[in-house]
Structure 1
Amino acid sequence: MSFVTPEIAWAPLAPVIIVLGAAAIGILIESFVRTPATRRIVLLTLSVVSLVAAAAVAAVQWATLDGAGTIVLDGMMTVDRQALAWQIVILVFGALGALLFAARTRAGEEAFTPLGSVAPGTAEETLARRKGFQVTEVFPLALFAVGGMMLFTSVTDLIFLFVALEVFSLPLYILVALARRRRFLSHEGALKYFLLGAFSSALFLFGAALLYGATGDTNFVRVSEGIATVTGLDPLILSGAVLVMSGLLFKLGAVPFHSWTPDAYQGAPTPVTAFMAAATKAAATAALLRVSYEALHGLAWELSWLIWTVAILSMLLGTVVALVQTELKRMLAYSSIAHAGFILVALAGFPADALSALPFYLLSYGLATLGAFAVITQVRERGEDGTVLGEATRLGQWAGLGHRSPWLAGAMALFLLSFAGIPLTAGFVGKFVAFSAAMSEGAWPLVLVAVIASAAAAFFYVRLIVLMFLTDVPEGQEDAVEVDHSPLARAVVAITVIGVVLLGIVPGPVLSLFENAGVLLLGAAG
């Protein structure tokens, strides 16, 4: 028996290789660089440089791509402009997230516990804090997560997609549990995220097994061909498709797969929440598009009930529950659930325009999300002795922020208006193109629900703006909140403000690029 060595086109995989290679090097740095402060600087530099380099390589590949794209690993991966567009978006989020990971307060406090392997509040943790220990492993963990998300955007095989899902999920489970303050909340959020994530992975894998049993293959295109030709197995095929979609909808944070979102968002270190909220949604949307359009497009009519139901439930539950929240991170968590519904609106009927509309929507949403959480990291409680404590996340603590720091309050107001879809912000253009995609398939009732939900959601966004600018600081609470000026966090706020404004005022060039990327190369067909 002769063994034929497979030929692998490594060049199209260069962006993914750069990121995962940097993550492996980061693990070695963890082992050999003993000084925490030096290790932190080296790992931050490595992370940002590798992510920027990977984005530059992906951009060059986009500009020089021959034809529709390249099939890699015998049809298990496809590198086309759609995949490259999503990869660049995720790399941008990863670079901004890395800057937030490294941000510190004026007193030198970072967002992560000094020793993640011990129970909260123990003597070991106190000693580690006094000795200046730092959990710098967060940088290679974030790189592994980004690498897995990049794979997630281009995989064209159900089993390989499951592997990519676990590659980026496992680091996130760890990162959520590493908050410096509110450690029990952090552990609770991580545990819920892990358990429900394992359950959703099992659903996805079971669905892939059912589709394999019905069609005899796990490749997206051959699954699509099997769906079109196999007879007598409709219940098996539809059950598998629903389970696969359910596994992806969990990562999107859509109802009824949303219950991990509020606890994970609230408990996680705020930089992790920012990174997870922006990048995970983008990766999940990219995979959902590729699975829907390449593997399950023949079931568009049968799956429409699932997409419509989940979209409506997500928009309604996310909006209604966010209205009654008094904790800012939980409010933004429920807002993200509503946005998951808006994303699914664009998928109604599987319109071709969704392939260009959703990358823009996720770019605008991700920039505003990263910026909003970067602002949250800088608004902090102050103890009676004057020491700066954790983030001030109760809504009442943000009263009068416009007087304390007009720049930060103005930036936060811009991000909130973008979430609400107010004109001249990126969020307005994102919602417009997403809803237009749904309208092209006649899904106007779903768009009507989305518009009503957007109008209702504007209330809790505007409520915070009113608190910041039109509400006085409660008497006796003037010194209870302090604005901490972290240079790295402020850099993230500035970059995201520029992005949200430019995408809102002159979206044309970026929309044109995404329209150019709005084509999927069908992997197995070539």
Structure 2
Amino acid sequence: MNFMQPDFVPAYPEIFLLVMVCVVLLADLAWGEKKPYMAYLLSQITLLGCALITFGTSAPGIVYTFSGMFVDDAMADILKMLVYITVATVLVYSRAYISVRGMLSGEFFSLALFATLGMMVMISASHFLTLYLGLELLSLSLYAMVALRRESAAATEAAIKFFVLGALASGFLLYGMSMIYGATGSLNIARVTEVIQGGALNHEVLVVGLVFIVAGISFKLSAAPFHMWAPDVYQGAPTAVVLFIGAAPKLAAFGFVMRLLVEGMGAMVADWQGMLVILAVMSMMIGNLAAIAQTNIKRMLAYSTISHMGFMLLGIIAGNENGYSSSMFYVVVYVLMTLGTFGMIMLLSHEGFEADKLDDFKGLNRRNPWYAFITLLLMFSMAGVPPTVGIYAKLSVLQAVLSAGYIWLAVVAVLFSLIGAFYYLRIVKLMYFDEPETDAPLLPEGDVKLLISANGLAILAFGLFPQTLMALCAYAIQQSI
């Protein structure tokens, strides 16, 4: 039997990353005690190398390899580049935080790189098996990262909850995929699409499988009612790990939704639209209402994430290219806001102190007006206040869902967005109108100071000139769907 030699070029970034993870582990084993920053530097070099390889191997059109299990297209390339930038930013923000807490080790960086590899596989998967392998590689790495502080009971508890509920969601997803396979006779996404479009299938079996798949995806997105893990994990895990969980995996989850629902089950759009409407409304309702009652900022941001994922689903519900590109734009903006917000939390934290309470932001304007201004931009963007980019993210998905005829859904989204503005603006009030609880100066390292300033100003710049980012997202979707 003759086998075709697969084309390895589209997978060069993944192969390079896998090799470099081994290098990071070996370097940490050899020099970790003497040079603890070695693993950090190698990780950043790895991400830079992946970006250069992805850019160098990108080509117009859609390329399949490994017997159609792996795809390289514009959406994959752009999402991967965004993942590299996000993970690199997370590592810069996290370095000082993990250093004083004894987590500056090869384990943290190798797990982060393995999670990045899982995200890359998810983004380029064109087969149910590849999707699942990428998802599990990401999930297992995140479980271990949450439990990395072995002496912390809160982190251990969070990791156990995350693992148990994550295993349940993976079971849902796997069972749904098996039912789709039973109905269509294939695990290849393109082949599944062809069979479903053919029509000679048991529709009830497909719908039941779809229900399980949507449930599994909802857990990974932390969309209600499958959000139970998010508040506990955000509160219990180290802030550096929470930043990682809350940022880059959302880009991969968007790619996962596009590959599985849009490309694979696009012919069943009428079936999954109804499910996503329920998820979106519940996410916006539970996320925004529950966030109001929180005093722990990490827990508040967990509920904020749930509501933002509800908004992101609005674009998917539209079921057209405009809606998908709006959702991608929303996810990118959300990641940018999350990076800055958790970066500020780690900036306020120091050895022996976690800035995880809302009251820790009191009087920040008197302690450091510049960082208070950066936080103001981040909170305004989260709330959707002009001229920050958050307003355009919300408007783009609302416009998409309106064009699809869901007027009532757009009205509901606007109402919950108004409710959500309260708990974001509350932080602005604490920073500018309350007395500080401490006069301790904020002394970030030079690269952190530069990056967090750039992060905040990017929120403003993209708000004033959103066309570039919108056009990039539209291009990614048009060239891939």
Q: Aligned equivalents of 1:226 and 1:136: distance in 2? A: 46
Residue equivalent to 1:169: 139
| Aligned: 1:310 with 2:282 | no
Letter in 2 for 1:36: E
* 357 and 20 in structure 1: CA distance in 2 versus 1, 3 angstrom threshold: farther
| Aligned: 1:499 with 2:461 | no
Out of 153, 162, 183, the position equivalent to 1:184 is 153
Out of 449, 467, 471, the position equivalent to 1:508 is 467
Structure 1 position 401, deviation (Å)? 1.3
* 111 and 6 in structure 1: CA distance in 2 versus 1, 3 angstrom threshold: farther
Out of 404, 424, 442, the position equivalent to 1:461 is 424
Residue equivalent to 1:419: 382
Letter in 1 for 2:20: A
Q: Aligned equivalents of 2:34 and 2:234: distance in 1? A: 28
Q: Aligned equivalents of 2:417 and 2:245: distance in 1? A: 23
Q: Aligned equivalents of 2:378 and 2:394: distance in 1? A: 14
- 2:177–2:213 contact (8 Å) kept in structure 1: yes
Residue equivalent to 1:43: 39
Residue equivalent to 1:57: 53
Structure 1 position 484, deviation (Å)? 4.6
Letter in 2 for 1:83: A
Out of 429, 446, 452, the position equivalent to 2:409 is 446
Out of 98, 106, 109, the position equivalent to 2:91 is 98
| 1:461-501, Cα deviation, whole Å (9 max, x unpaired) | 0001000111123xxx445x663534444343123123222
Letter in 1 for 2:25: I
| 1:212-232, Cα deviation, whole Å (9 max, x unpaired) | 000000111211222233545
Residue equivalent to 1:131: none
Residue equivalent to 1:120: none
| Aligned: 1:470 with 2:433 | yes
Out of 260, 268, 271, the position equivalent to 2:240 is 271
* 233 and 158 in structure 1: CA distance in 2 versus 1, 3 angstrom threshold: same
Structure 1 position 421, deviation (Å)? 1.3
Residue equivalent to 2:66: 73
| 1:118-164, Cα deviation, whole Å (9 max, x unpaired) | xxxxxxxxxxxxxxxx5331111101101110111110111111111
Q: Give the match's secondary structure for 1:483.
A: coil
- 2:280–2:314 contact (8 Å) kept in structure 1: yes
Corresponding residue pairs, total:
481
Structure 1 position 111, deviation (Å)? 6.0
Out of 232, 235, 251, the position equivalent to 2:204 is 235
* 84 and 355 in structure 1: CA distance in 2 versus 1, 3 angstrom threshold: farther
Q: Aligned equivalents of 1:144 and 1:469: distance in 2? A: 41
Letter in 1 for 2:189: F
Residue equivalent to 2:124: 154
* 502 and 37 in structure 1: CA distance in 2 versus 1, 3 angstrom threshold: farther
Residue equivalent to 2:231: 262
- 2:39–2:105 contact (8 Å) kept in structure 1: no
* Farther-moved stretch of structure 1 (193-202 vs 351-360): 351-360
| Aligned: 1:323 with 2:320 | no
- 2:173–2:216 contact (8 Å) kept in structure 1: yes
Structure 1 position 300, deviation (Å)? 0.9
Q: Aligned equivalents of 2:479 and 2:68: distance in 1? A: 13
Letter in 1 for 2:243: A
Q: Aligned equivalents of 2:441 and 2:327: distance in 1? A: 38
- 1:103–1:487 contact (8 Å) kept in structure 2: no
- 1:301–1:349 contact (8 Å) kept in structure 2: no
Residue equivalent to 1:140: 110
Q: Give the match's secondary structure for 1:103.
A: helix
Higher relative contact order (CA 8 A, sep 6+): 1
Q: Give the match's secondary structure for 1:425.
A: coil
Residue equivalent to 2:13: 15
Q: Give the match's secondary structure for 2:353.
A: strand
Structure 1 position 441, deviation (Å)? 1.3
Q: Aligned equivalents of 1:143 and 1:444: distance in 2? A: 42
* Farther-moved stretch of structure 1 (459-468 vs 242-251): 242-251
Out of 164, 172, 188, the position equivalent to 1:219 is 188
* 193 and 230 in structure 1: CA distance in 2 versus 1, 3 angstrom threshold: same
- 1:252–1:284 contact (8 Å) kept in structure 2: yes
- What residue ranges of structure 1 are gaps of 5+ in the alignment? 115-133, 382-387
Out of 346, 356, 359, the position equivalent to 1:377 is 346
* 37 and 313 in structure 1: CA distance in 2 versus 1, 3 angstrom threshold: farther
- 1:69–1:78 contact (8 Å) kept in structure 2: yes
- Normalising by structure 1, we get a TM-score of 0.87
Structure 1 position 521, deviation (Å)? 4.2
Q: Aligned equivalents of 1:111 and 1:161: distance in 2? A: 37
Residue equivalent to 1:130: none
Q: Give the match's secondary structure for 1:409.
A: helix
Q: Aligned equivalents of 1:37 and 1:376: distance in 2? A: 29
Larger fraction in helix: 2
- Normalising by structure 2, we get a TM-score of 0.95
- 1:315–1:453 contact (8 Å) kept in structure 2: yes
- 1:193–1:260 contact (8 Å) kept in structure 2: yes
For the aligned residues, what is the CA RMSD?
Answer: 1.9
Residue equivalent to 2:356: 393
Residue equivalent to 1:430: 393
